[in-house]
Amino acid sequence: MASIGALIAAAGRGIRAGLPYPKTLYPVQGKAILLRIFEMLRPYDSQPTVIVSPSGAEPIAQSLEQEQFLAHFVVQPEPKGMGDAVLRFAQSPAFDAAEHVLLIWGDVPFVQPETVSQMVATHLREDNDFTFVTRRVARPYTVVSRGQAGGVTRVVETREAGGDPPLEGERDIGLFVFRKLPLFETLALDLPGRLGRSTGEHGFLYAIEHLVHAGRKVAALPIAQEIELVSLNSLKDVSDFT
């Protein structure tokens, strides 16, 4: 089986949610989001890499140590965007051995093991370069565009697209698996869409369009359950589950 390195983007500091600690440590149904993610990723990587903020490194390390989870830690010194965070995986001891990267946002508490399993199995079986999970929803935060043949053409955040947000569309859930080298080469280039128009930060989803244009094999799997859409941006997002 191809070597898979798990990468958890957990540099969110919890400020927008009004938390005095990293939001990935917020307990949902009695367990911190990050611990739930670690349990789910165990079949793929027994020592995932976690991208942390300078202030979040110590509390996250302490939380994982208490539960006897092993992790590699990489600090993102400044919040320069998700593309910047993902590129910092190159600083992890796990980077060289990983042929594929299983990436998950650190604020999604309810991604299901069977969803991850189906995504990874499809990615490897079909020899994809980039595979991710989606669901069709009302007022999507991100929008997946497909061509006439049904293949993915691009994914954009609605705040970056301009104009009125769509009333309905297909969106990602913060769960991806990709072949490491093509994606990292794409993120390292100064390509259109690299910096968000509204944030100025180095994005991540823009890279999908460039992979498609380069002839890479990209697939979006509309297999997400509704509960998997939950993410912690404000406490009200998870208030029904705490």
**2 against 135, higher pLDDT:** 135
Q: Give pLDDT tens digits for 206-241.
A: 999 999 999 999 999 999 999 999 998 767 777 676
Quick one: pLDDT at residue 124?
A: 98
pLDDT range class, residue 118, cuts 50, 70, 90: very high
In a domain, 63, yes or no: yes
pLDDT more than 90, % of the chain = 82
In a domain, 240, yes or no: no
> What mean pLDDT do residues 4-8 have?
98
**CATH code: domain of residue 70:** 3.90.550.10
Mean of the per-residue pLDDT values for the chain? 93
In a domain, 182, yes or no: yes
In a domain, 142, yes or no: yes
**What is the number of domains present in the chain?**
1
pLDDT range class, residue 164, cuts 50, 70, 90: confident
Q: Pick from 43, 36, 90, 92: which is nearest to 64 by CA?
A: 36
In a domain, 237, yes or no: no
Q: Give pLDDT tens digits for 97-115.
A: 999 999 999 999 999 999 9
In a domain, 15, yes or no: yes
Instruction: Kindly report the backbone phi and psi dihedral angles of residue 57, in degrees, each rounded to the nearest multiple of 5, phi listed first.
Output: -60, -50
Distance CA 50, CA 112 (A): 19
In a domain, 183, yes or no: yes
Quick one: pLDDT at residue 158?
A: 85
Torsion sign, CA atoms 124, 130, 133, 137: negative
Domain range for 95: 4-231
In a domain, 236, yes or no: no
